[in-house]
Amino acid sequence: MELGIEGKVALVTGGTSGIGLAIARRLLREGARVFVCGREPARLEEALGQLRGEGEVQGKVMGTLAHVDRPAEAGRLVEEAVAAFGRLDIVVSNAGTHLRGRCEELSPEQVEAHFRTKVLGPWELARHAAPHLRRQGGGRLILVIGQAGKVPGRAVLGSAVVNAAQHALVKSLSDDLGRDGILVNAVCPSRISSPLTADLVIDEERYLGRSLEQQESGWGDTVPLGRWGTPEDIADAVAFLASERASYLCGTNIDVDGGHQRMIF
């Protein structure tokens, strides 16, 4: 299927490992030029080296250090991406992690930091990117939102509240920007094997006196497909939403979870 991404410019936050790196690699393979950001210099250089080794992509990938929870840096990131490639068509907001903990275990500072990264960060990205996307006649803004925003739980209170706010942001931005041809959507991962989930504690998991590998082998039992997904599964969904084939999808969210999240809407 021809996605119509070739020649376009994509900005991917949190693009130096796991899901973000897989998204950057997938967009490159579709012919896009990609600008990634991360927080750690060594990880950024390693990611850029990997991406630049992807076949014929010389000159098609660049990156910078940025903390998207800082409003000024989100704006700078957009301007650097435009300066590097002369335009901007696709913005993928993937920065942030999972905030685990019950109410009395989380400080206001922790929740605020999580909110700044996952809500105010993409807010500022959208605010600064919108004028550039309008100049191209439209574009794509895609948020990667963890499952807690749809499936709250007592041990994931911080992520549940912040991720739900991300869903509200997607819906509101889609209404605001859709008339300009800027389509805002979300991809919602669950049970994805990545560096983020390497130290994951499964809710209600009990130590059974077995090796870690033995216990992990049963974690896919709650997924109808019987296995965990990969970062590439998320990258495929993002590439579709970024494409011309998704031109009538606006304000929606796509679950990429092997059927794990059992909610009706």
Domain extents for the chain? 9-254
- 35: which residues sit within 8 A by CB, 6+ positions away? 9, 10, 11, 12, 61, 62, 63, 64, 80, 81, 84, 85
- Read off the pTM: 0.90
Read off the pLDDT of each residue in 111-137 and give the average, rounded to a whole number: 96
Rounded distance, CA 189 to CA 199, Å? 17
Give the SS3 label for residue 65.
Answer: strand
203-222 residues labelled b (16+ CB within 10 A) or e (exposed): eeeeeeeeeeeeeeeebbee
pLDDT digits (tens, 9 = 90+) for 188-242: 998 888 666 555 555 544 445 555 454 555 666 788 888 889 999 999 999 999 9
Res 71: pLDDT: 86
- Phi, psi at 212, each rounded to 5°: -55, -40
Res 207: pLDDT: 47
Q: How far apart, in Å, are the Cα atoms of 128 and each of 14, 53, 99, 131, 241?
A: 18, 30, 27, 7, 21
Rounded distance, CA 114 to CA 120, Å? 9
Q: Which CATH architecture has domain 9-254?
A: 3-Layer(aba) Sandwich (3.40)
Q: What is the DSSP letter of 213?
A: H
Rounded distance, CA 250 to CA 186, Å? 9
Higher pLDDT among residues 43 and 97, named by residue: 43
In terms of Cα–Cα distance, which of 69, 53, 67, 64 is closest to 11? 64
Residue 68 near residue 117, CB atoms below 8 Å:
yes
Beta bridge partners of 9: 33
Read off the pLDDT of each residue in 21-40 and give the average, rounded to a whole number: 96
Q: How far apart, in Å, are the Cα atoms of 219 and each of 53, 105, 227, 252, 261?
A: 34, 26, 8, 28, 14
The pLDDT of residue 61 is above 90: yes
Res 56: pLDDT: 64
pLDDT digits (tens, 9 = 90+) for 105-122: 999 999 999 999 999 999
* Tally of CB atoms within 10 A around 202: 13
Give the SS3 label for residue 135.
Answer: helix
Gyration radius of the chain's alpha carbons: 18
Strand order in the sheet with 33-38: 61-65, 33-38, 9-12, 90-93, 139-144, 182-189, 253-256
Rounded distance, CA 265 to CA 257, Å? 14
Over pLDDT 90: what percentage of the chain?
71
Type and span of the H or E element at 77? helix 71-85
